[in-house]
Each structure stands twice: as structure tokens, then as C-alpha cells.
Amino acid sequence: MSEACDVLAREPYVVPGQGLNVPRIRQDFPILRQRVHGKPLIYLDNAATTQKPQSVIDALRRFYEEDCSNVHRGVHQLSERATQTYEEARAKAQRFINAAESREIIFVRGATEAINLVAASYGRANVGPGDEIIISAMEHHSNIVPWQLLCQEKGARLRVVPISDRGEIIMEEFEKLLNERARLVAIVHVSNALGTVNPVKTIIQMARARGIAVLIDGAQAVPHMPVDVQDLDCDFYAFSGHKVYGPTGIGILYGKAAFLEAMPPYQGGGDMISSVTFEKTLFNSLPYKFEAGTPNIAGAIGLGAAIDYIRSIGLEPIAAHESALLAYATKALSQVRGLRIIGTAPKKAGAISFVLDCAHPHDIGAILDWEGVAIRTGHHCAQPVMERYGVPATARASFALYNTKAEIDVLVQALGKVIEVFS
């Protein structure tokens, strides 16, 4: 590392009065130093996955180099160290979303598995023929399909709250669906395709006042804003580690202890039992009842390191930085000829979806890639959203703490090249 870099490395992450020290933060992300097609990489696909800081990469390497062993089993030194670090990561996740107890934090593969766990365990035990499950029209496929499968199995009905042209849940319609047949509300906190921040606290209050359980899909929320599950008072909250600067293949299901205690196991196997005979098995206590088999130990430890990293910077300054980027990008993109933003809710976070009248999103993505700009193009695993707005696909730029206004300027210039080629 050069002398200048050494000096930078000693600077604080947040400069009082100025916000995030982005050059300092970018130093922590080795992947951002590369060039793509000869151009500096501009990574604007953070809603798909975020890049990882050096501390997360180091935590993974340290586990495999120094502590690698199985958890909750061995009496030897390595296993004790691995177990301790693994359980510390659970406590970090607990503090991160302010859960009341660490046993309310279940390690899963990601938000998708978290939702499947609730559908398979809570859903099978509590949803019957004629019952209803309420989702919104802006859900990711991961918060649609598990409920469809459950409804098919149980003869229950999936109800969908419509969204407005701006991309907001129509609350009057939501209220109408809260009838005596409704058993569960499953709603996304922040939409991956539109960027809308939903009024989840109000949604939770309305549902719980009628005794209906609520699951919040927080995959796109936790990277961008402080989340407090006790304040929200949701029954379940799901998120993925890799969208919050952690590794892939690890995520969190938060569930209120009373719910998790009453739920049957999700998968059977090792670690989730307290005793097994061929006649009868006694299940382990929380959270282990829901963690059958050897877990993704390194992933959990990596997620713990990611949470440490975010907390060392602070979610408030991160949110302020990203909100400024979003406002800047919205203004800049609105001035691009023939560009239409899909999703114009007043409260948004993290992402902007758009279409160009002269080029298909796939072609936009290909030309931007050539300029070093990585964005997502396609249906964003939210085909019903695409149908709602009458587009086959969109291009989506999504932001993280290491992005800059200068990068958005390059995005806009690159869109100029797209228009040059296709008009």
C-alpha cells in the first residue's frame, strides 16, 4: 500500500458535517479497484448483491485457516473457537435488528429460505382450507411462490394487495383484505424492483390488531436503514447476508420466540434434536430446532463481520449518503431523453428501475457493461411488477455506501451512448 493510502486508512469513515468519507470506504473493497473492458468498474447492481469489505473476506479466510471445525459438537479447542464465533455472529445479528433474544435469530441460507421455513412450518400448522394469505403486487418471487405452494397444498387462497401507478401499496385495499379468513400477511419492506419503502409499521399494526401474523421480507431494507423488529412488532423478519456486505448462502430469519416455540421443525437432522430413538425424537430448543445439519459456519461468521463493519460506520450516515445518491440519480436520469422511471413513490431506497424508449433493457445493460458500468436488467424476479407496468423488463441501478455521484455521471454518459447506438 502506498504512503497516501496509509494516510487515508487512518481517516474516519464519517466526517462530521460532511457525511461518509467514501474514498476511505472504497479502500476497504478490493473488488472496486479493478477495470472492466479497460474502464474503472462502476458497480451499480447492489440490490442483486453487494461487494464485500476486506474485513469480511478476512473473517472467512481466518475461519478456514485457523478455526475450521464443526460447531456444537467437539470438546476440542478448534470446535470451541468455531462455536463461540458462530454464536457471537448470532448475537451480532440480534443486536443489528434489535431482537429481544438471540434464540429468535435462526441462521438460514437467505431470505428465500427464511420465507420457505415460515411457509412450511408456521404455514402448514396454521393455514387451512378457505383461509387467506395476503401479499402485495410488488413482491419478489421468493415472497409469492412459497405461499402459492402452501395455498395449493391446503386449499387456501392467496390475496394480492394492488399497487398504485407510483408503486405504492393501496392501503384502503389492504384494509379490505384483513378479514376473519386472513391468517398471515407477507409484505416486502423495500421493493427490489421499484425501490418503494413500504409503511410496514402501519401494515403490521393493522394486521396484528386483527390477530393476523405478519412476515416482513427485509432483504432490500437492512442494507439501507436501521431496522428494529421490536419497534416494528412484526412476527417474522427475513433478510439475506449477501445484500448487506456479507457472504452468499447465509441469511437470517427472525421470529418472535412464542411463535418459533410453537412451530414444528422445518427440516430434520443433526443439531436440531435433543434425543433420538427409533420410537420418538425430542427436538432441541431454539434456535437449534430450526438449524438441522452442519450450518454455513463460515458464512455466519462472515455475516457477523459484515454487521460489525456496517455498525462501525453507522446506518444513519449510510442511509443519508444513499438517499442523496438516489435523489441525484433520479434527477439526472429524468433528464435523459426517452427515459422513464418505473416506480416513483415519494419514499424510496436503494434502487431506480427505468426503461428507454429506444432500447431494450438487455441492450442497455450490454452497452453499459462496455463502459464499465454494472447494472441489472430483466424482470428482477418480480414478473407481476413488470406486468403491472406493462414492460417486459427494466434496467435497474442500485446503490451502496461506496457509490459516488461521479459514478452516476458516468452512468448517464453511458446511457447517452446507448441512445447514440439505438436511435
Site residues (vs other proteins, CB under 8 A): 37, 359-363, 366-367, 370, 377-379, 383, 386, 392-393, 417, 421-422
Strands (DSSP E) along 218-256, which ranges?
Answer: 236-240, 251-255
**Sequence-separated contacts (24+) of 46-49 with Cβ below 8 Å:** 46/223, 46/243, 46/350, 46/398, 46/399, 46/400, 46/403, 47/192, 47/220, 47/243, 47/350, 47/351, 47/376, 47/380, 47/396, 47/398, 48/376, 48/398, 49/242, 49/243, 49/248
> Least CB distance from residue 417 to other proteins, whole Å?
7
Instruction: Find the helix or strand (DSSP H, E) in which 182 lies.
Output: strand 182-188
Q: Quick one: which H or E segment has residue 208?
A: helix 200-208
Q: Which residues contact 191 (CB under 8 A, 6 or more apart)?
A: 138, 167, 198, 220, 343, 351, 382, 385
Instruction: Give min distance, CB of 37 to other proteins, in A.
Output: 8
C-beta closer to other proteins: residue 5 or 421: 421
User: Closest separation between CB of residue 36 and other proteins, Å?
Assistant: 13
The residue (of 328 and 422) whose beta carbon lies closer to other proteins is 422
What is the grid cell recorded at 190?
A: 423495500
Shortest separation between residue 358's beta carbon and other proteins, angstroms: 9
Which H or E element spans position 151?
Answer: helix 145-154
* Residue 12 or 390 having the CB closest to other proteins: 390
Active-site annotation, residues = 381
Spatial distance between the Cα atoms of 238 and 221, rounded to a whole number of angstroms: 10
What is the DSSP secondary structure assignment for residue 66, as one 8-state letter? Answer: I
Smallest gap from Cβ 392 to other proteins, in A, equals 4
Q: What is the biggest distance separating any 2 CA atoms in the chain, rounded to whole angstroms?
A: 72
Q: Quickly tell me which residue has 416455540 as its cell.
A: 261
Tell me whether residue 8 or residue 366 sits nearer to other proteins (CB atom).
Answer: 366
User: Is the Cβ of residue 296 or residue 353 nearer to other proteins in the bound state?
Assistant: 353
Q: Note if the bond before 287 is cis, omega within 30 degrees.
A: yes
Q: Which C-beta is closer to other proteins: that of 165 or that of 420? A: 420
